[in-house]
């Protein structure tokens, strides 16, 4: 077992001004929960921002007081001597706006009504998140992030950073991401959303659309795993010795998915889930640049590391290469690696040796 950061206490950033959203709506201030790992150096030049994906949160590494058995979601990659080496870097990880782990979101009280926001919490875009993360940067007294890094939806934030706040970022680590969602990507998100909003318990007072959220999670989960990995892990293994010819769990893979649905839907906020899928759908930075990704990335001075995973079919290597090709066309500094992995989209969560080395090398080069 690799060295751990121990128990981490979260911090809070209260922003009290009006925060204008891309949708035209307004948040009258917000709260962001975040954690830090490692120490800020004297020059304040070693801060790395970690951005989370759909169901992630601020608790990326170490252990929390409440749950000392389960490490943060990127604990394998953040810590002493790890990919994001906390002996060298000051790592900052937040829960995004709209989240359900401590930052302002659908579970908060709407000051205008005195009730929880629920579906009235405004939709947040990747651009909005990056804007709020830039305010967090100011609050922390940093001139710039040495790097912004994330996988999946987190990688999209790392990319958006270089477009919107290029003067405040040196390096961008864009992992298992895409420059925008495909029709198929949106289609899967739409099924997940329909599962939630058509649940009769959706947005009914204190009821929770547990079934709908569970379905959304099951479906999402299939897209996170590679077909190859599902074959290795479950194949056609049965729960019992022979077929039951009924609707109880028959195959191991069914049991696994039902378990995923149950545990996730107990603890996650359905409105946050909806909001995160919409942020994914809307993400399309080249839309403001005549749908020209080269042009979109033309002005950035960041160094880029783009990483993809061979068996990822949610955001396949081809999608990462679209980013890489645009960066090359715009004569930017970019390193790219396709990591051989059977883990599918989830590959970004595991400390594959070449993966870790790629990040370390990229961060070390000044």
- Catalytic residue ranges: 152, 312, 345
Near a second copy by CB under 8 A: residue from 166, 284, 322, 338: 284
Q: Is 321 in the site for a second copy (CB under 8 A)?
A: no
CA pseudo-torsion sign 24, 129, 156, 194: negative
Nearer to a second copy, 31 or 211 (CB): 211
Near a second copy by CB under 8 A: residue from 182, 301, 361, 365: 182
The order of strands in the sheet holding 26-37 is 11-20, 26-37, 90-94, 47-51, 145-151, 169-175, 303-309, 333-339
Q: How far apart are CA 176 and CA 316, in angstroms?
A: 7
Nearer to a second copy, 136 or 222 (CB): 222
Nearer to a second copy, 119 or 299 (CB): 119
Instruction: Looking at residues 55 to 94 of the shown chain, list those that interact with a second copy (rule: CB under 8 A).
Output: none
Q: Is 231 in the site for a second copy (CB under 8 A)?
A: yes
Query: What backbone torsions phi and psi does residue 29 show, to the nearest 5 degrees?
Result: 85, 165
Q: Is 236 in the site for a second copy (CB under 8 A)?
A: yes
Segment contacting a second copy by CB under 8 A, of 70-78, 103-111, 195-203, 303-311: 195-203
Q: How far apart are CA 54 and CA 63, in angstroms?
A: 21
Q: How far apart are CA 276 and CA 109, in angstroms?
A: 19
Q: How far apart are CA 293 and CA 137, in angstroms?
A: 26
Q: Burial level of 343, CB count in 10 A (0-12/13-18/19+)?
A: buried
- Say if CB 71 and CB 4 are below 8 A apart: yes
**Token pair for residue 106?**
């659908």
What is the closest distance, in whole angstroms, from the C-beta atom of residue 262 to a second copy in the complex?
Answer: 11
Instruction: Looking at residues 239 to 258 of the shown chain, list those that interact with a second copy (rule: CB under 8 A).
Output: 243, 245-247, 250-251, 253-254, 257-258
- Say if CB 177 and CB 320 are below 8 A apart: yes
Longest CA–CA separation in the chain, Å: 67
Nearer to a second copy, 8 or 257 (CB): 257
Report the Cα–Cα distance between both ends of the chain, in Å, rounded.
30
**Token pair for residue 41?**
């150096």
Q: Is 233 in the site for a second copy (CB under 8 A)?
A: yes
What is the closest distance, in whole angstroms, from the C-beta atom of residue 349 to a second copy in the complex?
Answer: 19
Size of the site for a second copy (CB under 8 A): 54
Site string (115-144) toward a second copy, x via CB under 8 A: ----x--xx-x-------------------
Strand partners, 304: 172, 334
Q: Is 23 in the site for a second copy (CB under 8 A)?
A: yes
Near a second copy by CB under 8 A: residue from 11, 25, 31, 135: 25
Q: How far apart are CA 2 and CA 235, in angstroms?
A: 31
Nearer to a second copy, 144 or 234 (CB): 234
Which DSSP symbol is given to 123?
A: P
Binding site for a second copy (CB under 8 A): 22-25, 119, 122-123, 125, 180-184, 186-188, 190-191, 193-195, 197-198, 200, 211, 214-215, 218-219, 222, 225, 227, 230-231, 233-236, 243, 245-247, 250-251, 253-254, 257-258, 261, 274, 278, 281-282, 284
């Amino acid at each position: 077992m690799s060295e751990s950061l121990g128990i981490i206490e979260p911090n809070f950033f209260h922003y009290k001004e009006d925060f204008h959203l891309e949708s035209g709506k307004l948040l009258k201030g917000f709260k962001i929960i975040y954690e830090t790992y490692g120490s800020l150096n004297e020059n304040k030049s070693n801060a790395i921002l970690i951005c989370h994906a759909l169901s992630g949160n601020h608790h990326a590494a170490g252990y929390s007081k409440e749950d000392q058995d389960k490490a943060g979601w990127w604990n394998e990659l953040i810590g002493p001597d790890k990919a994001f080496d906390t002996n060298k870097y000051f790592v900052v990880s937040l829960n995004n706006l709209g989240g359900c782990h401590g930052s302002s979101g659908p579970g908060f009280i709407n000051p205008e009504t005195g009730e929880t926001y629920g579906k009235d919490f405004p939709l947040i875009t990747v651009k909005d998140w990056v804007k709020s993360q830039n305010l967090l940067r100011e609050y922390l007294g940093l001139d710039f992030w040495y790097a912004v890094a994330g996988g999946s939806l987190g990688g999209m934030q790392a990319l958006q950073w270089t477009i919107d706040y290029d003067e405040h970022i040196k390096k961008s680590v864009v992992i298992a991401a895409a420059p925008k969602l495909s029709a198929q990507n949106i289609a899967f998100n739409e099924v997940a959303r329909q599962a939630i909003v058509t649940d009769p318990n959706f947005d009914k007072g204190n009821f929770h659309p547990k079934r709908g959220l569970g379905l959304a999670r099951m479906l999402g989960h299939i897209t996170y795993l590679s077909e190859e990995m599902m074959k290795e892990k479950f194949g056609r293994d049965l729960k019992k010795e022979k077929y039951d010819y009924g609707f109880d769990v028959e195959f191991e893979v069914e049991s696994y998915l039902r378990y995923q649905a149950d545990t996730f839907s107990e603890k996650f906020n359905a409105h946050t889930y909806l909001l995160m899928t919409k942020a994914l759908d809307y993400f399309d930075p080249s839309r403001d640049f005549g749908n020209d990704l080269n042009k979109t990335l033309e002005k950035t001075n960041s160094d880029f590391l783009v990483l993809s995973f061979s068996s990822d079919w949610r955001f396949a290597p081809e999608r990462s290469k679209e980013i890489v090709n645009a960066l090359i066309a715009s004569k930017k500094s970019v390193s790219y690696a396709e990591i051989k992995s059977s883990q599918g989209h989830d590959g970004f969560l595991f400390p594959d040796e070449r993966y870790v080395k790629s990040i370390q090398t990229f961060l070390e080069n000044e």
